[in-house]
Structure 1
Amino acid sequence: MGLSIKSVPALPAQTAFFARLRGHLPAHLSLVDEVADVLQLSTDSTYRRLRGETALSLDEATRLAQHFQLPLTDLLTSPSESVTFQRMSINAQPGGISDYLRYTASYFGQAAAANAHISYAAKDIPAIYHFLFPELARFKVFFWLKTIKTVEAFSNLRYAAQHIPNEVIAAGAAAAEQYLRMPTVEIWNDETVNSTLRQIEYYHDAGLYEQPADVPRLLDTLEALVQHIQRQAIAGRTLRHNLEVAPYQLYFNEILLLDNTILTAAEGHDRVLVSYNGMDYLHTTDASFCTEVKQWMRVQTEKSTLISQVSEKERNRFFNKIYARIEEQRRKLRQGHRAP
């Protein structure tokens, strides 16, 4: 009588979990080696877990999830119906903005190291650009903390540049350095610059500047930022310290109100950031969600006009409308100063 050998049933949730881990791993690294290192296991023991022959303990699953920054809930949910997000948020403390910007720099640094491409549907001017212009960055950070996040330490303050520490601007500049390293597609529309213009005007009308002379300087700096974007569009490259860095495409969309969604796409390393609460983001590497957003971005570029390197007439028309709005704000400001 022969012996029958029962095969050990694989663990489907565990197998799926390791598949997700593999998707988070740069192509040049070995999943076996990484898991063995994290769990301090032999290669043979690691293979048994990867094949689903040995169940992961809760402690092992937790250690792997933390190391790969993959939520444990991915073990429990159906990827077709649910998406797991992590968040990047500004804590309601004055120092929270520095942590947020350092995290952002790390996020874009990892994406750049993975040779990612960025697609950005810009409802507002991409926040990263403000940090190329420190005076405007200080205003935007003050506005975010006082008016959006209502941080208590700012509640009785009016805007002045000295209220924002240099370390905040340095952290934002480091994030900008990483962002500009990557090939970038940005989709703008007629409203993209308007929120910053309205914020500058709102603080003026509400008497929230310590020095009224800051208002024309902020408008000048905003115009300089727009000129920077225009130079990028002409060159078809991102610019840092007047040096061309990475391929850049700018699209003008006439029909859609955009939503500040960001896609960083790399081989096996896609991630989507979705904005909420003004400056906070939810982000995910869920493959089906990333694929859906990638398709949406593709459709939006097809329905938009490329105004970088080509379409000089459309590009000039787009930027001239922005400059006209800035000049209109200057005119209103001058009229206000002449009022009795």
Structure 2
Amino acid sequence: MNKLTTAPPSELSLQKKLFQQIKNGLGSHLSLVEEVADLLGISTDSAYRRLRSETPVSLEEAAILCKHFHIALDEIIPQPQEAVIFRRFSIHEQALTFADYLRYSREYFEKMRLIKHCMCYYAAKDIPVFYHFMFPPLGKFKLFFWLKTVKGVPEFKNLPFSFESIPDEYMKLSNAISDSYFQTPGVEIWNEETTNSTLRQIYYYHEAGLFADPAIPLALVDQLEQLVKHVHLQAETGQKLLHTATPAAVPVKFELYHNEVLLLDNTILHQADSFSSVLVSYNAIDYLTTTNHAFCHEVYRWLQIQMEKSVLISKISEKERNRFFNKMYENIKQHRKKMQEQR
């Protein structure tokens, strides 16, 4: 498990701090010098001189670099301890912006995947949405629910859900996000309420008559059961699994904890040897993100405390693992039975 240091880099010039921050978040397959040269439209020799602080970076150049690499000012310029600068990515009330939200999410999770030795921690109040996209009918329902019920996008106001409601572009972007997540080693903390959000959403649409076909809700419940079985198998093997429920060519570590104490909050922490980033959820599905060192360390400590108060049920604790998942299967069974009786 990666350790988070308690102090940011010190005794560095602002220019060196800028390039150190860029380097920390740069994928191992990319060359820092070439990236800087391409972005600033300068030669590699000129880029080297800036990296060595022999040539000062202009304000305009710094702005270009910060914008491209998503670096906030508080990562470079010391701020009051209480101040944290966040970047947001959210779904607005216009359907056209949803693709932008998905693209930004894809770029973010792909960037995290490419960082060497990066570990993803997820405090799961709800099923991590990435799992839904492995089961297309369920993924389409989740996207539709966000647009219609959570964000109230006008184009979806009077539209019942069908599998044709979601454009192919949305699913392609969502699948790309999911692929990056499942190729990043991770720790997830679940509790017995984690599956209830999706179940309640399906049941709400069922009762409200918001499905175009009455057979859809039961099909979605079946898909949800398959999703839980997939997570169950990951917990047994201790590996993240691909769409075919088989391990990746290079095993991707997976740890699952059962927390009986708290209702979690869908916070996500990505952490590597010299880099960390936090996603904090708000408005149900929108996120604020920051790489503020002190804030990330605070989140890391909170996650460690929750893990200490939880039971590790991946690879070990077979009895506890089966007990945990059997409760989820039974809950799904009861919702299925209730919907069958109401048809």
Per the TM superposition, whether the score is higher than 0.5 is: yes
The residue number in structure 1 matching 2:7 is: none
Which of 239, 249, 252 pairs up with 2:255?
249
The residue number in structure 2 matching 1:165 is: 167
- The superposition leaves residues 135-172 of structure 1 with CA deviations (integer Å, 9 ceiling, x where unpaired) of 11111111100000100000011111111112212221
The residue number in structure 1 matching 2:231 is: 229
Report the Cα offset of residue 264 of structure 1.
Answer: 1.2
2:93 pairs with 1:92: yes
**In 1, Cα distance between equivalents of 2:34 and 2:336:** 61
Which of 298, 306, 331 pairs up with 1:300?
306
The residue number in structure 1 matching 2:123 is: 121
2:112 pairs with 1:106: no
Say which is worse superposed, 160-169 or 45-54, in terms of deviation.
Answer: 45-54
- The superposition leaves residues 29-71 of structure 1 with CA deviations (integer Å, 9 ceiling, x where unpaired) of 7767765664456889778867878765432321221232213
Report the Cα offset of residue 223 of structure 1.
Answer: 0.6
Question: What are the residue-to-residue correspondences of 1:179-328 with 2, within 5 Å?
Answer: 179-240=181-242, 241-245=244-248, 246-328=252-334
**In 2, Cα distance between equivalents of 1:335 and 1:226:** 23
**In 2, Cα distance between equivalents of 1:169 and 1:124:** 20
**In 2, Cα distance between equivalents of 1:317 and 1:260:** 23
Report the Cα offset of residue 213 of structure 1.
Answer: 1.2
**In 1, Cα distance between equivalents of 2:205 and 2:164:** 17
**In 2, Cα distance between equivalents of 1:28 and 1:143:** 37
Q: What is the total number of aligned residue pairs between the two structures? A: 328
Report the Cα offset of residue 200 of structure 1.
Answer: 0.7
SS at match of 2:270: strand
Q: Percent identity?
A: 50
Query: Which runs of 5 or more structure 2 residues have no equivalent in the other structure?
Result: 1-10
**In 2, Cα distance between equivalents of 1:61 and 1:293:** 29
CA contact (8 A) 2:278 2:291 kept: yes
**In 1, Cα distance between equivalents of 2:178 and 2:14:** 39
Report the Cα offset of residue 123 of structure 1.
Answer: 0.5
Say which is worse superposed, 197-206 or 93-102, in terms of deviation.
Answer: 93-102
**In 2, Cα distance between equivalents of 1:50 and 1:244:** 40
**In 2, Cα distance between equivalents of 1:195 and 1:82:** 33
Say which is worse superposed, 80-89 or 251-260, in terms of deviation.
Answer: 80-89
- The superposition leaves residues 83-138 of structure 1 with CA deviations (integer Å, 9 ceiling, x where unpaired) of 12111222322233333223222222221111311110000000010000011111
Say which is worse superposed, 51-60 or 247-256, in terms of deviation.
Answer: 51-60
Partner letter of residue 82 of structure 2? E
The residue number in structure 2 matching 1:81 is: 82
Say which is worse superposed, 18-27 or 106-115, in terms of deviation.
Answer: 18-27
Question: What are the residue-to-residue correspondences of 1:41-80 with 2, within 5 Å?
Answer: 56-72=57-73, 74=75, 78=79, 80=81
Query: Which runs of 5 or more structure 1 residues have no equivalent in the other structure?
Result: 1-9
SS at match of 2:146: helix
CA contact (8 A) 2:27 2:114 kept: no
Report the Cα offset of residue 336 of structure 1.
Answer: 1.9
CA contact (8 A) 2:25 2:115 kept: no
TM-score by length of 1: 0.87
**In 2, Cα distance between equivalents of 1:79 and 1:42:** 37
2:181 pairs with 1:175: no
**In 2, Cα distance between equivalents of 1:105 and 1:99:** 10
Say which is worse superposed, 69-78 or 279-288, in terms of deviation.
Answer: 69-78
Partner letter of residue 90 of structure 2? S
Specify whether residues 41 and 160 from structure 1 end up closer, same or farther in structure 2 by C-alpha distance, changes over 3 A only.
Answer: closer
Partner letter of residue 234 of structure 2? Q
**In 1, Cα distance between equivalents of 2:69 and 2:106:** 18
**In 2, Cα distance between equivalents of 1:206 and 1:37:** 54
SS at match of 2:125: coil
SS at match of 2:328: helix
The residue number in structure 1 matching 2:154 is: 152
Partner letter of residue 66 of structure 1? K
SS at match of 1:309: coil
